[in-house]
Chain A
Amino acid sequence: MTVDTAHLLGSSAPPAINDGANSHAHSVQFYTQDDYLLDELGRFIGSFLGAGDAAIVIATPSHHTGLVQRLRQHGFDVDLAISQARYVALDAADTLSLFMVDGQIDPDLCIEVLGAVIIAARAAVPGDHRRVAAFGEMVALLWAEGKCEAALELEEIWNRLATLHPLQLRCAYPLSLFPGSADGSPVKQICSAHSYVIPAEDYTAIRTEEERLTAIAVLQQKALALETEIEGHRQARGELERAVFARDAFLSVAAHELKTPITGLRGYAQLLLRDLKAERDIAPERLEAALRSLDLQTGKLARLISRLLDSSQIEAGKLRIERETTDIASLVRSVLAQQDSADHSFIYDGPDHIETQVDPLRFEQVITNLINNAIKFSPQGGIITARLEQHPGEGTRLSIIDHGVGIPPDHREAVFDRFYQAHSDYDRHLAGMGLGLHIAREIIHLHGGSIRIEQPDHPGSCFVVTLPPSADDS
């Protein structure tokens, strides 16, 4: 038998010499690549077979195949060793099933089964200094099934067997078994059950102290980088969850906002159809109410859809403004003139003309949204004032003042958030889709301006828009 012992003994594994202390060595090998495991295992088992000792391999079928391949490459006559009963190959899952009872290890049965295998292997080797190498993967199978306690129990049973027999033990765990344990606790637990640890590949070739310290520094840096990355992912996930929550709440409110006009449209259509079907005369006031509703509600639906589109453009950063010289005073007056709420009166308080550099269409939208908001938040009616002021060097200030229910101080920032009202418990009925004020604020920001809510000296709200001086508008 030609044996490449020089290569086999050049292993980084613990020395396979029966010097008493080491004869009970119980080492554990971690790995990420099968090739690394099998190369190391080939050296370990090969050193025993080469020295005329026995080896027990309790492994998965693929590891058995890989190991036999490597032993043959090194010139071992594996078939001969098998026929001499010096090489015992057992399937890990089958062996495990011999002493597992109701998902638990039966310790007595386990010692009996494994002990018999060890005794048979020892008997196959002639002479007094008969040694047995044992490699086992049953612990890794248990761990993979989530039976971590049972795996550690089996490790201790192997330790007990090693006190009874001249065993050199090796077990192996793929690192992929511990994906979610950032604190390394399972690996620490496993290591403490062993007398020698072989880390996963890349760290076994370290020869000098300098290399060792460098490797530790690199690992520390990697660990820190990973922790930072994990924290980043955790935060991103939190943000995503909040966004999904806001979106779901928004969808529920949007569905309600869309269903209400549709209910009216469908209802009037069916009322008229029922009249036609029953061959009743349609009362003119009924027809008028239906057509009026059709006109009003389709307009409302179209506005809702525009807002949704604006909002998605803002989110995508695609909303653009086109500034031109605009008389903002007449813009404000024209928006007020368009209001037809019978319960409210609208007052313009400001100069006849103020020239500013704004996007007239978008700014009209801002004023309209603020006026609509003022109407919505003063359901009992009342005066709504639009006050326009311009002070030299201070820009333009537009205040929309209502006498409504007001906005509690702790809501004054959040009302401008996208979908804000969609998930507000603050009088749900007043909540629209939570887009109007958000869109207004974004348009104002695109103009370099700002918006805030002030408390007027009477109950109600005062929304203040400030635009920078035109000179700064470049």
Chain B
Amino acid sequence: MHILVVEDDADIRHIMVLALRDEGYEVEEAASGQSALDLLDRGGTHPEIILLDMKMPGMDGEQFARRYRELYGRHAQIILVTAANEASVHRPKIDADSHISKPFDIGELLDKVSALVRRPQL
């Protein structure tokens, strides 16, 4: 199971990557929407799940999600990771499959990921 973490804050990105690797997931990371698109463009294993921050420099989460759906459709499921109080409000805006609010609980983050893993997309 491949997961891509898109998050500009190095600490938060690092934490998500470590927690997911501890659970045995294959994890790649990107510090911005643009570098995530570049990574996907280079080919390799396409992720099944993308953990996506909303506020990032340059291309933000919303712009990335829109571009991703244009390029790859619903290939990967997207989990929105945001410090905004209304995470659930932002979720439909970017057509996300799940969301979690910062500061998140690692156990809850892993539960959200495994829930999507068990629910293979259509």
Do these two chains really belong together in a complex?
A: yes
Kindly state the separation between the CA atoms of A266 and B8 in the bound complex, as whole angstroms: 17
**A429 x B19 contact (CB < 8 A):** no
Name the contact of A429 in the complex, choosing from B57, B104, B106 (C-beta under 8 A): B57
Please give the distance in Å from B34's CB to the nearest CB on chain A.
13
Distance, CA A264 to CA B83, complexed state (A)? 12
User: Cβ of B22 and Cβ of A274 under 8 Å apart?
Assistant: yes
Closest to A262 in B: B103
Query: Residue among B8, B15, B16, B55 with the most chain A CB within 10 A?
Result: B15
A69 at interface, CB cutoff 8 A: no
From 256 to 306 in chain A, residues with beta carbon under 8 angstroms from any chain B beta carbon are 256, 259-260, 262-268, 270-271, 274-275, 286, 289, 293, 297
Q: Are B85 and A255 in contact (CB under 8 A)?
A: yes
| A266, B55: Cβ atoms closer than 8 Å | no
Q: Count of B residues near A, CB < 8 Å?
A: 24
Write the chain B residue with the least CB distance to A278.
B22
Residues of A contacting B48 in the complex (Cβ-Cβ under 8 angstroms): none
Residue interface bits A376-393, CB-to-B below 8 A is 1, else 0: 000100000000000000
Smallest distance from the beta carbon of B70 to chain A beta carbons, Å? 22
Contact assessment for B11 and A267 in the assembled complex, using a CB-CB cutoff below 8 Å: yes
Asked if residues B84 and A256 are in contact (CB atoms below 8 Å), the reply is yes
Query: Which chain B residues lie closer than 8 Å to A293 at the CB level?
Result: 11
Cβ-defined contact, A430 with B57, below 8 A? yes
* A353 at the binding interface (Cβ < 8 Å): no
Decide yes or no whether A428 CB sits under 8 A from chain B: yes
CA of A297 to CA of B9 in the docked complex: distance in angstroms?
12
Q: Does B115 contact A (CB under 8 A)?
A: no
Min C-beta distance of B9 to chain A, whole Å: 6
| Interfacial chain A residues near B56, Cβ < 8 Å | 429
How far in angstroms is the closest Cβ of chain B from A169? 61
Q: Mark A324-343, 1 if CB is under 8 A from B, else 0.
A: 00000000000000000000
Q: Is B69 an interface residue (CB 8 A)?
A: no
Q: In the docked arrangement, what's the CA distance between A230 and B18, Å?
A: 62
Cβ contacts under 8 Å, A429 to chain B? 8, 55-58, 60
The answer to whether A255 touches B83 (Cβ under 8 A) is yes
Give A204 to B107 CA distance when docked, in angstroms. 81
Instruction: Compute how far the CA of A268 lies from the CA of B9 in the bound complex, rounded to whole angstroms.
Output: 13
Give B73 Cβ to nearest chain A Cβ, in Å: 28
- When C-beta atoms are compared, the residue in chain A nearest to B81 turns out to be A263
A259–B15 CB distance below 8 A: no
Chain B residues with CB under 8 A of A275: 22
What 0/1 readout, one digit per residue, does chain A (26-50) give for beta carbons within 8 Å of chain B? 0000000000000000000000000
Task: Give every chain A residue within 8 A of B84 (Cβ-Cβ).
Answer: 256
Distance from A452 Cβ to chain B, minimum over Cβ atoms (Å): 26
Write out the residue numbers on chain B whose beta carbons fall within 8 Å of the beta carbon of A427.
57
A271 and B11 within 8 A (CB) = no
Please provide the 4 A-B residue pairs with the shortest distance between their CB atoms, ordered closest to farther: A267-B15, A264-B11, A263-B103, A259-B83
> What 18 new A-B contacts, CB under 8 Å, besides A255-B83, A429-B8?
A252-B85, A256-B84, A259-B103, A260-B83, A262-B103, A263-B103, A266-B103, A266-B104, A267-B11, A267-B15, A267-B19, A267-B106, A268-B15, A271-B18, A274-B106, A289-B14, A297-B11, A430-B57
